A = this chain, B = another copy of it.
Amino acid sequence: MDLAASPLAQPFPDMPAIEGVTLRVARAQYKEWDRCDLTFVELAEGTSLAGVFTQSACASSEVELGREQVQTGTARALVVNAGNSNAFTGFRGREAVEAIQTQVADRLDCAASDVLVSSTGVIGVPLPKDKAREGVANALTAEPCGWEDAAATINTTDTFNKGAHASAMLGSTRVELCGIIKGSGMIAPDMATMLGYIFTDADVEPQFLQELLNAANLQTFSCITVDGDTSTSDTVLVFATGKAGNAQITGWDSPGADAFAAALNDVCRNLAQLVVRDGEGASKFITIRVSGAVDDDSARRIGLAIANSPLVKTAIAGEDANWGRVVMAVGKAGQPADRDRLSIGFGGVWAARDGVPVDDYDEAPVAKHLKGQEIDIAVDMGMDTSGTGGSATVWTCDLTHGYISINADYRS
């Protein structure tokens, strides 16, 4: 089925080339479609690698191998297959991934472990080795392409191409960070599969790059949800080619470490929000700010409980300032809470404070806010007696008939 672009779609940004990163796309014909479905990224020698992966106990071979590969901290190539996730395919699936690694490693004269592979799409069908071999061969000889072509090629049922860019000054050296992502488009029997790739010309030592990615992930990709269903293939990788010529960033004391971390965080947050904006059936982008929790982790868990509540999400779809459902979601989060200290607001207006509805609550500005596309929900837990309360911001979308149509009405 062809889906209309999400009403929350954003235009693809202008993104500069990154020295040491060469993008190519090709057709492997994993499905019978008229589009490129294999992305091949060649990376300069000496590229640092960091990555975070799904915590699914049923992860794909690509994820299992990727978890090992990030330990080495180096990468020379990335291959992304769209149309077949190769998940739940046992040893045959693993062989298909290893065949791709060998084919690329032979060509680039590098270790197979320096070739990262991701796959997204239908599950339970081993990635066909012959199509992959042909696709990789096509990609190796293809003309280089731009960011939007690469972003489009990793998509499956996404409704728009998603990219984000940031720059940072490391001392007097300007570095660029470009990221692409796909996700939240699902169609039976595909699964939600979020794949994100960030490329930078900065020189960053792999272990510290991993530390920065872990921190950024916790505040960005780990703070979004569309429907609470976790994919078997979720992957975010960062590649740092080091071609910008900065003194290598090895820790927080390195010049520009803060600036680079901020830029990385910025790109991660933008990419994460784009996934939400392409959430299945989404008509509203919801930002949930939780404050006054016992700590940041507790705040994030409360935020996600609210963001995953079908009753909260349907209320927002119905433009209903239903703070009672927010109370319910806070109550079920399994986190320290005191009903009589809880405050809830929409669009900057408190509807309930300290456990009771606000006496002179004026619903008019709230009703107006809820008619918009960008919805703000504020929750103050009131557990912050020492002034050191935890906070978190979580992003999600509403739950509409569109979600049901995409996931129930159409058959695989």
Given contacts A56-B331, A88-B324, contact A191 B339 (CB under 8 A): no
- Are B412 and A311 within 8 A (Cβ)? no
Q: Given the complex, which residues of B lie within 8 Å of A352, measured CB to CB?
A: 88, 124
1/0 contact string of A111-125 vs chain B (CB within 8 Å): 000000000001111
Q: Is A102 an interface residue (CB 8 A)?
A: no
Per-residue interface assignment for chain A, residues 298 to 335, with 1 indicating a CB less than 8 Å from any chain B CB and 0 otherwise: 00000000001111001101111011110111111111
Q: A191-B328, A192-B311 are in contact. Are A57 and B404 (CB under 8 A)?
A: no
Contacts of A356 in B (CB 8 A): 88-90, 92, 124
Q: Are B58 and A331 in contact (CB under 8 A)?
A: yes
> Inside 8 A of A333's CB, which chain B residues have their CB?
57
Evaluate whether A404 and B314 lie within 8 angstroms (CB atoms) in the complex, with A87-B324, A327-B88, A340-B90 already known.
Answer: yes
Query: Chain copies in the assembly?
Result: 2
In whole angstroms, what is the CA distance A228 to B123 when docked?
A: 26
Is A371 close to B, CB under 8 A? no
B330 touches A58 (CB 8 A): yes
State the A residues within 8 Å of B (CB): 54-59, 87-90, 92, 122-125, 186, 188-192, 227-232, 308-311, 314-315, 317-320, 322-325, 327-340, 342, 352, 354-357, 398-401, 403-405, 407-412
Sample (15) of A-B pairs whose CB atoms are under 8 Å apart: A57-B338, A57-B339, A58-B331, A87-B327, A88-B342, A123-B327, A186-B311, A192-B311, A228-B228, A228-B309, A230-B328, A232-B328, A314-B404, A401-B404, A404-B404
